[in-house]
Chains A and B, each alone.
Chain A
């Protein structure tokens, strides 16, 4: 076991005389502070060096970057020695947009761009105003027009041809957009004084959180048609979306509930003293404070959620991960799945890492 010599947030060796070469001093305090530490550093460097060299050999030096269309012979020649990045330029349109009509793929591309702009604007504190909500509604409407088409001279594209990154973003965004208000209602219900409402909320949260998301998705894909009147059929994507909203609602409800508990009692009493009704009290006094308390855990729930949308692979919806998995069924390129997974992992990582950095910065400034 490694020795915990110091807490990282406490400046170590602060009182030692600052003499000698700063580089050497840094090395001594951070890498060679004691004999076991020195040995550990050397071992780690050796392992890192060996791993790094073999990765560079596989991923860069021996890799094939480009290949003529539909020709994987160049990749097969270096199989086992080097990576075949050529599969990415070959398949990226399918991975990103699935079976969306090839000539129309600028539409999902533009939708993805719109989503990213929306996410970015929503993280700026300066934009946290009522107008942002209108912007969201407008942008989501625009995205629906772009994806479906059928108006303004855009050809109609039915939902079962959608795929890839836009589907992942749609599932995640709508899941949160509807799951969040649902979560707030359930959190309020769980703290209500009315026993029937309280028990219903508790039942909902515990039932959904107690089972795996996979089983909810199965339920959406297999059981939902049984629940509906015959002849009434909803698209598979929408069914999965409903399952995801219900799932998000239960998790977000618990986060919001924690926030509600953190609002001091005096705030409730003050609101009551002003004679505010239940809803006005919560809308004007309690919820704004409660949500401010839990913004970092909310962002963490969003991250977990964004990743969990990939589970729709199991019921055969073409999200980003499913298109990646489908892309490598092609017999010519079958052996190069690792490269495709790394590419898709990088996309997911970019989104989640950005959110996690943002959550970190919020935590740092939340005291203000």
Chain B
């Protein structure tokens, strides 16, 4: 992990540690492992006795049974007659929905605020500092409850706020105009992703060619063809409609458009604003870590501000920014489990309900842990890969 580790743990085999302090080391290891095993055995035997006394069968067989729990707001189709397994899948999808969108929004907001803190405009930098201080020093759960109460205090659907035409904010949540996405639209999106991947490969090849003979080769015709023309052609061929669906009030509720339920919306706002305060500090320290000489040198070359920021400052700042950013993404994902406090059904909430209905505490908690460990490992893996890509190549 670190290169300045004064005592890197030597990678010796177990028996090789018998060397100088071998016996003493062996004694301590046997002691610690023995104590750990004894504690585990003690807990295990208690658990087995307790489970049989309470007539709880262990195992994951209950996953196949009918769940019978309602899930109000879900990305995937669900009804209470589905199995526990499917309820868990729906819960995981809800967790991912909040985590992924939260990470994207928090990164954008946090970067803007971090940059604002460095602004030459005194008022803006002060405001950003106050934002960071206030949000960082109040528990997330309290902020979440606060937003949820505010959502509930919003006017009823009939008197909904309309900040912009087609957007409604009421105690039913936030309703936005949306393009309905079905299988035909997915085909077009698939073509676009495929085109993007192909373009990436071609561009790498073009750069390789240019490295060889120095002749610049334009990449834009490929971009136009693969990313614009290809999906458009698929869209025309299939006759896909891209009409925007505008929500409208019919009777007591809204029809059409995209609805963000109050629970989801409150959770998203709370996670995004809270995490953005931490990200803002990371971005600020990252930018400040770029030596002043880099700014001066770029100015001396007469570069434009935006070019300077994009090509000179940010690449250097990113090296400082990415590692702590990874932990913020992990935090946001783990914090999404607070959803249980306001009744948004993420995986933790589903597991909690399951636990209360079936008494399968060990299995439910094991599932939560497995899900979060998998997500955490996924995020760290991706961020470590990205970090390695942007790291300074030192000789």
Contact = CB atoms under 8 A, between A and B. Distances in A.
A349 B137 contact: yes
A276 interface: no
A41 B121 contact: yes
Given A6-B120, A225-B50, A210 B146 contact: no
A313 B144 CA distance: 13
B32 A338 contact: no
Interface in B319-349: 334-335, 337-338, 340-341, 348
Contact of A356 (B33, B136, B153): B136
Given A33-B120, A196-B33, A219-B365, A314 B50 contact: no
Contacts of B122: 30-31
B209 interface: no
A349 B115 CA distance: 24
Contacts of A226: 46-47, 50-51, 361-362
Interface stretch (A117-125, A131-139, A260-268): A260-268
B355 interface: yes
B131 interface: no
Contact of A222 (B29, B47, B120, B355): B355
Contacts of B313: 4
Contacts of B142: 310, 321, 341, 344-345, 348
B25 interface: yes
Given A194-B29, A211-B368, A307-B138, A337 B6 contact: no
A282 B290 CA distance: 36
Interface in B118-162: 118-125, 127, 133-134, 136-143, 145-146, 149-150, 153
A187 to B, nearest CB: 13
B121 A215 contact: no
B188 to A, nearest CB: 32
Interface centre among A4, A31, A335 (most CB of B within 10 A): A4
A141 to B, nearest CB: 28
A8 B368 CA distance: 45
Contact of A196 (B29, B138, B292): B29
A213 to B, nearest CB: 8
Contacts of A213: 334
Interface string A178-221: 00000000000001111111101000000100111111001100
A219 B136 CA distance: 27
Interface of B is mostly: helix
B384 to A, nearest CB: 14
Contacts of A313: 141, 341
A113 interface: no
A273 interface: no
A197 B34 CA distance: 11
A222 B363 CA distance: 12
B138 A192 contact: no
Interface string A311-345: 10110000001000100000000010110010011
A7 B115 CA distance: 11
Interface in B343-395: 348, 352, 355, 361-362, 365, 368-369, 372-373, 376-377
Contacts of B348: 212, 214-215, 218
A7 B266 CA distance: 36
Interface in B297-334: 305, 309, 313, 334
Contacts of A33: 120-121
Contacts of A90: none
Contacts of A303: 136-137
B373 A211 contact: yes
A225 B313 CA distance: 55
B253 interface: no
A42 B137 CA distance: 29
Contacts, number: 203
Contacts of B361: 222-223, 226
Contacts of A195: 12, 14, 17, 29
A338 to B, nearest CB: 6
A365 interface: no
A337 B153 CA distance: 10
Among A7, A12, A37, A214, chain B packs the most CB atoms within 10 A around the CB of A214
Contacts of B153: 335, 338
B211 interface: no
A192 B9 contact: yes
A198 B9 contact: yes
Contacts of B125: 8
A37 B121 contact: yes
A154 interface: no
Given A193-B9, A196-B29, A215-B372, A321 B119 contact: no
A238 interface: no
Contacts of A24: none
B294 to A, nearest CB: 11
B43 A341 contact: no
Nearest to B356: A222
B117 to A, nearest CB: 8
B338 A311 contact: yes
A200 B120 CA distance: 50
B23 to A, nearest CB: 12
Contact of A261 (B4, B28, B50, B376): B4
A4 B292 CA distance: 12
A177 interface: no
Nearest to B47: A226
A215 B365 contact: yes
Interface string B103-125: 00000000010011011111111
A1 B306 CA distance: 10
28 contacts: A1-B112, A3-B119, A4-B115, A4-B118, A4-B119, A7-B288, A12-B120, A41-B123, A41-B124, A191-B9, A194-B17, A195-B12, A210-B376, A211-B369, A212-B337, A215-B337, A215-B372, A223-B365, A261-B4, A262-B4, A307-B140, A310-B139, A314-B338, A338-B150, A344-B142, A345-B146, A348-B139, A349-B134
Given A4-B119, A37-B120, A210-B373, 4 more contacts: A196-B29, A210-B377, A218-B368, A226-B362
Interface of A: 1-10, 12, 30-31, 33, 37, 40-41, 44-45, 48, 191-198, 200, 207, 210-215, 218-219, 222-223, 225-230, 261-265, 267-268, 303, 307-308, 310-311, 313-314, 321, 325, 335, 337-338, 341, 344-345, 348-349, 352-353, 356
